[in-house]
Amino acid sequence: MKTTFSAVLKSLKHLDEVDKSPAGANANSLLKSASQIEYLFVIYLLDEIFNITGGLSQALQEIELDVISAQNLIESTIKALENLNNVDKCDSIYNLCIDFAKENEIDLPKLKRQANKPARFREGYSTSVVFSTPVEKYQSLFFQTSNYYYGRNQISF
């Protein structure tokens, strides 16, 4: 994935610089989106999830499907997804993104300055989550994504 994505970024940069048609404008838009650390983080996370679920997907598409084997494969896939849902794995994916960003000259994550709410609006309103480091922000994104993909839809046999 790393090599392919680097090649895509280089191609988009080239199109943006050379092509002044609508295709060049589209390349510029894609380049801006793909050059954000949030985009990279989700791509790396989805790559992990698809690597885990890929074998199950292939097995379930076979013409002759053994139900017992499929059930065992489903259970092992669910267990692997549950094992993915931890802080160490999140930090590992975050570090991969940071390394990739440095190699491809992508801006590293920064936290935006937090503004205080005016006093008249503070009472009775919930405060938004404030992260003290970029790692905390991406841990939050990681667990939101992982809960969406496999934390809410428990399968039982």
Q: What residue has token string 């996370």?
A: 45
Task: Report the SS3 class of residue 154.
Answer: coil
Query: How confident is the model at residue 75, as a pLDDT?
Result: 93
- Percent of the chain whose predicted confidence (pLDDT) is above 70: 75
Residues 94, 83: Cα–Cα separation, whole Å: 17
Three-state SS annotation for 22-70:
HHHHHHHHHHHHHCCHHHHHHHHHHHHHHHHHHHHHHHHCCCCCCHHHH
- Percent of the chain whose predicted confidence (pLDDT) is above 90: 10
In whole angstroms, how far apart are CA 88 and each of 91, 135, 139?
5, 12, 10
Q: How confident is the model at residue 156 (pLDDT cuts 50, 70, 90)?
A: very low
What's the mean per-residue pLDDT of the chain?
Answer: 78
- 103 residue type, one letter: E
**Which distant-in-sequence residues (6+ apart) come within 8 Å of 36 by Cβ?**
106
Best-predicted range by mean pLDDT (19-23, 68-72, 145-149): 68-72
Q: pTM to 2 decimals?
A: 0.66
Determine contact, residues 137/143, Cβ cutoff 8 Å.
Answer: no
Determine contact, residues 52/81, Cβ cutoff 8 Å.
Answer: yes
For the cut 90, the answer to whether the pLDDT of residue 54 exceeds it is yes
pLDDT in tens, 18-52: 877 887 788 888 888 888 888 888 888 888 889 99
Query: How confident is the model at residue 111, as a pLDDT?
Result: 61
Domain ranges of the chain: 1-35, 36-151
Comparison of pLDDT for 72 and 16, the residue scoring more:
72
pLDDT in tens, 90-123: 888 888 888 888 888 887 776 666 556 666 665 6
